Chain A
């Protein structure tokens, strides 16, 4: 409990540090939101200057950072220059959608990676191992975007799955069970795509962790004692190999989040992806900071969960 409390406190400090450095970083890149407007021949330079002043763009770094902290306290996280509204309300619904998608993709990919990794480690050099390694090598050379594009093409050609969005147009008129079905159909493609692109990393790590454990003396001993193979694999080897995998679990949340940005753009998923990509390109800094902070929270939460799990699962660490 004390461990957890201390970690939570640390997390707060980290978030503060992230917000400060993120602010610094964002200011280091040239150009600002209103530059695009200056390229419009119909808008005069004075008008743009006016707008800049209105939004406090001329203030010093510290003043703007303080302003931002102030609005954070209100839950606003500053004003989006593009939308003219507070950033907070822009983020919440989209963050929910992104979390739902990455959450289900996470479950799916671990459900695939663990058995596949364990089996290919158990039968090293066997046909399953070979197929898996061919599969991971193939996926490693294919940009994520291409995977999603191919999935989208498949969905369109076969017509089995909807080709984008999160709900059908008539969603509001559906019965509850129909709504669930509609959501599930829309989930299928992006979740599958995300699971596929994150699989190589997980699969390789599960496999290599298992290979190491399976070579260790206690497993040989267990084998010598005639304990059934599947029991050795799942009951002894997997828990022993779980240490690096738990760290990986925490990290994979972050990987999944950044991959989901692309899938959201390609499959029109109403999450944070399209929002942040536009914000990055148009230098809508408060939105970028908002998304950065939000994903930092997810990331830190992931690492926290991983550390707690590590703490619980590995007595050696607990001793300390």
Chain B
């Protein structure tokens, strides 16, 4: 058995970043309007490579990126987030009203729309869809987004074209929730749902006639291991500025190309028309050939992914990990974490790991997230002197051979865990290892397979420090609740907390809960700025860098307007056309 270097395939496996296109974000009025989309020409085929085969075509079950990418092209939601403007826009719901208390949303559906099999779309489909998403027996990964304030939201049909959603408490920017909940056809799925077979329906090998969606494309053919072909949905309701029915393309072909390098090479050879999710190294290699081979590459700037180092601050009582528990006295020491942060050369990470196509970070919000970034917080500049002062102030000292010891004379030695499926993070760890050796710390880089790493982080707590990355499909703070609340399931540095362990964690709890129910963007933003300041000051996680979103397309692809929200290049697939 000798599998291989599709290191970043594996990264895709890491659902860390598998952020769906589900989401939430306040609605800022000041944002730019979407780029003007040109009137295109009908016809043609667009070929795209997927890193892995889609596992399912069922929108309520998909957890992996490939499935979500395909499902995105076949389905539509009630309210949609324009990936470029990051604002919501009406989709299947043509308008909506919010009750004064901010708890009830009444959505008015477009009339006369049809699913891709020609059956009409009504409020029954909407009610059915949300019943499915909310059913805990279905186990939809989106389900938790609909549980607000501990209670599921309720859905009510007012008439055939009006639906009311009621929340148990006000929820900031709730209309953004609807993106990521594609509407399912009741007439095709209800029987399976009632008989308990829902999880077996709409697999990749289902017959095309069994599937229908409201998106621009529908299933035409699936060849196991090779490709999935979609063709135009003849009932798609959108039209371009000239009144021409969308989508422009006749066909959309997804090839399964399981390694990044193979994807890059096949893009070069002209087999595929667009390219995304590739490394900055490959970007440089491709760039050299762009003019000759008639394609172009775009660096969209920092993504929403933030990579960070964190220490194990978990409560280890009852865990029988005495050595780690002993080291926690350093990790819990703020000057120690500050010294580590201060000693890390973030510019070297940006330069050596990402070839400059990344941004150094001070806190979790990346410069790509313009609406929520607190520009007052600057990423720290490496200063070994300052780091040494911090350590000295906390009672650390140095032996004659330069190694660091704590006040009890114990050598400072710890390991940093990374996932071997992510080459970049292992590289970051290696740079940090070298940086920290300048402080006299003896750091080991341990890269484990993803399963083993997650097991240590979430279950056994048998680790000292780790590097991880997180990203959301949208830029809204609400999607980060699980990370920052002390009770959150992704409160990664200290899980299963019974209550906030210290004052700043209780401040974080308070601020996050507050922003959740604050409906005014400016106020929310001030609250979230404070969250970032606390993160930058207290360093529960030491934020490092955010890689840029890199994409490429052949020159002949029209209306190519990639965005930093997933799916980067196919979000406007209904308007993409071939010259």
Taking A29-B451, A266-B4, A267-B262 as known contacts, 12 extra A-B pairs with beta carbons closer than 8 A to each other, sorted by chain A number, are A36-B454, A39-B490, A41-B472, A47-B143, A82-B64, A84-B55, A84-B61, A84-B199, A94-B224, A164-B266, A166-B226, A270-B223
For B473, give the chain A residue with the smallest CB separation: A42
Taking the complex as formed, is B227 at the interface, i.e. its CB lies under 8 A from any CB of chain A? Answer: yes
Name the distance in Å between A316's Cβ and chain B's nearest Cβ.
35
Question: Given A42-B482, A85-B203, is A261 in contact with B143 using a C-beta cutoff of 8 Å?
Answer: no
Taking the complex as formed, is B141 at the interface, i.e. its CB lies under 8 A from any CB of chain A? Answer: yes
Q: Which of A87-129 contact B (CB under 8 A)?
A: 89-90, 93-94, 97
Question: Given A84-B61, A84-B199, A156-B269, is A265 in contact with B4 using a C-beta cutoff of 8 Å?
Answer: yes
8 Å CB contact of A149 from B226, B261, B266, B451? B261
| Contact present for B226 and A30 (CB under 8 Å) | no
| Contact present for A261 and B2 (CB under 8 Å) | yes
Residues from chain A with a CB closer than 8 A to the CB of B472 are: 41-42
Cα separation A163 to B255 with both chains bound (whole Å): 12
Cα separation A183 to B175 with both chains bound (whole Å): 50
Residues from chain A with a CB closer than 8 A to the CB of B460 are: 30
Q: Which of A152-166 contact B (CB under 8 A)?
A: 152-153, 155-156, 159, 163-166
The 7 closest A-B CB pairs, nearest first, are A270-B225, A31-B451, A30-B455, A156-B269, A35-B454, A31-B455, A274-B258
| Contact present for A97 and B13 (CB under 8 Å) | no
Taking the complex as formed, is A178 at the interface, i.e. its CB lies under 8 A from any CB of chain B? Answer: no
Taking the complex as formed, is B3 at the interface, i.e. its CB lies under 8 A from any CB of chain A? Answer: yes
Chain A interface, number of residues (Cβ within 8 angstroms):
63
| Contact present for A38 and B489 (CB under 8 Å) | yes
Provide a sorted-by-A list of 11 A–B residue pairs whose CB atoms are within 8 angstroms: A36-B63, A39-B16, A47-B144, A54-B139, A82-B64, A85-B203, A152-B265, A169-B47, A169-B253, A265-B4, A266-B259
Q: Which of A266-281 contact B (CB under 8 A)?
A: 266-271, 273-278, 280-281
Taking the complex as formed, is B125 at the interface, i.e. its CB lies under 8 A from any CB of chain A? Answer: no
Taking the complex as formed, is A45 at the interface, i.e. its CB lies under 8 A from any CB of chain B? Answer: yes
| Contact present for A274 and B227 (CB under 8 Å) | no
| Contact present for A277 and B225 (CB under 8 Å) | no
8 Å CB contact of B55 from A35, A83, A94? A83
| Contact present for A83 and B15 (CB under 8 Å) | no
Cα separation A268 to B458 with both chains bound (whole Å): 34
| Contact present for B225 and A84 (CB under 8 Å) | no
Question: Given A164-B266, A265-B3, A268-B256, is A281 in contact with B449 using a C-beta cutoff of 8 Å?
Answer: yes
Q: Which of B444-497 contact A (CB under 8 A)?
A: 449-456, 458-460, 470, 472, 479-483, 488-490
Residues from chain A with a CB closer than 8 A to the CB of B266 are: 156, 163-164, 268
Taking the complex as formed, is A145 at the interface, i.e. its CB lies under 8 A from any CB of chain B? Answer: yes
Taking the complex as formed, is A51 at the interface, i.e. its CB lies under 8 A from any CB of chain B? Answer: yes
Question: Given A38-B458, A47-B143, is A262 in contact with B2 using a C-beta cutoff of 8 Å?
Answer: yes
User: CB-defined interface of B3-25 with A at 8 Å, one 1/0 digit per residue?
Assistant: 11110011001111011101000
Name the distance in Å between B239's Cβ and chain A's nearest Cβ.
29
| Contact present for A274 and B61 (CB under 8 Å) | no
Question: Given A83-B55, A262-B2, A283-B451, is A36 in contact with B14 using a C-beta cutoff of 8 Å?
Answer: yes
Residues from chain B with a CB closer than 8 A to the CB of A31 are: 449-455
8 Å CB contact of A268 from B4, B13, B226, B268? B226
8 Å CB contact of B200 from A42, A85, A259? A85
Most buried by B among A38, A258, A282: A282
| Contact present for A47 and B136 (CB under 8 Å) | yes
8 Å CB contact of B479 from A32, A41, A90? A41
Question: Given A30-B451, A37-B15, A38-B489, is A274 in contact with B53 using a C-beta cutoff of 8 Å?
Answer: yes
Taking the complex as formed, is A43 at the interface, i.e. its CB lies under 8 A from any CB of chain B? Answer: yes
Taking the complex as formed, is B546 at the interface, i.e. its CB lies under 8 A from any CB of chain A? Answer: no
For A97, give the chain B residue with the smallest CB separation: B225
| Contact present for B269 and A163 (CB under 8 Å) | yes
| Contact present for A282 and B56 (CB under 8 Å) | no
| Contact present for A42 and B22 (CB under 8 Å) | yes
Q: Which of A32-69 contact B (CB under 8 A)?
A: 32, 35-45, 47, 50-51, 54
Name the distance in Å between A21's Cβ and chain B's nearest Cβ.
16
Question: Given A83-B204, A85-B203, is A278 in contact with B16 using a C-beta cutoff of 8 Å?
Answer: no
Name the distance in Å between B394's Cβ and chain A's nearest Cβ.
32
Question: Given A36-B13, A165-B226, A274-B258, is A42 in contact with B470 using a C-beta cutoff of 8 Å?
Answer: no
